[in-house]
Amino acid sequence: KDTDILAAFRVSPQPGVPPEEAGAAVAAESSTGTWTTVWTDGLTSLDRYKGRCYDLEPVAGEENQYIAYVAYPLDLFEEGSVTNMFTSIVGNVFGFKALRALRLEDLRIPTAYTKTFQGPPHGIQVERDKLNKYGRPLLGCTIKPKLGLSAKNYGRAVY
Q: Is the pLDDT of residue 5 over 70?
A: yes
Instruction: Write out pLDDT tens, residues 48-106.
Output: 778 899 999 999 999 999 999 999 999 888 999 988 899 888 876 777 778 899 999 99
Percent of the chain residues topping a pLDDT of 70: 87
Mean of all residue pLDDT scores within the chain: 86
Amino acid (1-letter code) at residue 111: T
Segments making up each domain of the chain, as ranges: 5-114, 124-158
Q: Does pLDDT of 35 surpass 60?
A: no
CATH code: domain 5-114 is 3.30.70.150
CA distances from 3 to 7, 74, 89 (A): 13, 7, 16
Q: What angle do CA 51, 35, 72 make, to 5 degrees?
A: 10
pLDDT at residue number 66: 97
* pLDDT score at 41: 57
